[in-house]
Every structure is written in C-alpha cells, then in structure tokens.
C-alpha cells in the first residue's frame, strides 16, 4: 500500500484548531495538543451556555416583572394568571421590557388586569 503524506491537510487542521484557541492563556494557544483539548472543552461550554442563556434570561424577565408589579401591589403569579384569564397574549420578555422602559404602559396593563 502506498504511503499517504498528509503534510498540507494536517497543517491546515492544526492551524484551524490553533485559530480557535487564539486568546487562550499560555500553552493553550501555542501547543496543538493542549490547544485541541481546550478548544474541545470551550466548545462544550459554549453549547451548554447557549441552553443556559435562555433559562437565565427568562429568570431575569420574571424578576423584573415581579419587582415592577409588586410596586403596584400585585404579585407576579397573580399577574400572569390574570393575563391568561383576560386573554392578553403578551410574553414575559415584552412585559419585562415595558416594566423597565415604559412604566406607564405597564401600569395600563396592570390596571386592565385588575379591573377584570
């Protein structure tokens, strides 16, 4: 069987990994074997982080809505329940944005919910 020389292909693969490891500290950005391990670990963390980010933002929105609604005298759980009962289909992201940037609109929504 003929010998396969992988000079170009191997170098390209290594350079691709080293490019991903750019900015890592010490040997993690210089030596291929260590860089490869760190890149694989970083990609795993990135994958997990993309899932975790969704949870954390939802939690942040709920905290903001709860704080703003309690200032007006209604609990978060009661607010969400009332919104569903009133057929007001507004998501938590938009509610939180209104609570932070447009307080008058948020108060209007609270008033419409409390009247029903």
Residue 2 domain-assigned (yes or no): no
| Residue 29 belongs to a domain | yes
Mean pLDDT of 54-78: 96
How confident is the model over 15-37, as pLDDT tens digits? Answer: 999 999 999 999 999 999 999 99
Q: Is residue 30 part of a domain?
A: yes
Q: Is residue 109 situated within a structural domain?
A: yes
Helix axis angle, 32-71 to 7-20, nearest 10°: 30
- Residue 21 has a pLDDT of 97
Give domain status of residue 85, yes or no. yes
CATH number at residue 84: 1.10.1900.20
- Per the structure, the count of domains in the chain is 1
- Which pTM does this prediction carry? 0.78
Kindly compute the dihedral angle of the four CA atoms of residues 73, 53, 84, 94, in this order, to the nearest 10 degrees. 70
Domain assignment present for 63 = yes
pLDDT, position 96: 97
Answer yes or no: is 1 within a domain. Answer: no
The whole domain housing 65 covers 9-115
Tokens of 88: 């007001």
Task: Say if 3 falls within a structural domain.
Answer: no
């Amino acid at each position: 069987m003929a010998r396969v020389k992988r000079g170009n292909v191997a170098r390209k693969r290594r350079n691709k990994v080293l490019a991903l490891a750019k900015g890592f500290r010490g040997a993690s950005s210089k030596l291929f074997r260590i860089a490869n391990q760190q890149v694989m670990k970083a990609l795993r963390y990135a994958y997990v982080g993309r899932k975790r980010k969704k949870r954390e933002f939802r939690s942040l929105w709920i905290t903001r809505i709860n704080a703003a609604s309690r200032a007006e005298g209604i609990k978060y759980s009661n607010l969400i329940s009332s919104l569903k009962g009133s057929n007001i289909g507004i998501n938590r992201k938009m509610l939180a944005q209104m609570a932070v940037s447009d307080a008058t609109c948020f108060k209007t929504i609270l008033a419409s919910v409390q009247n029903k």
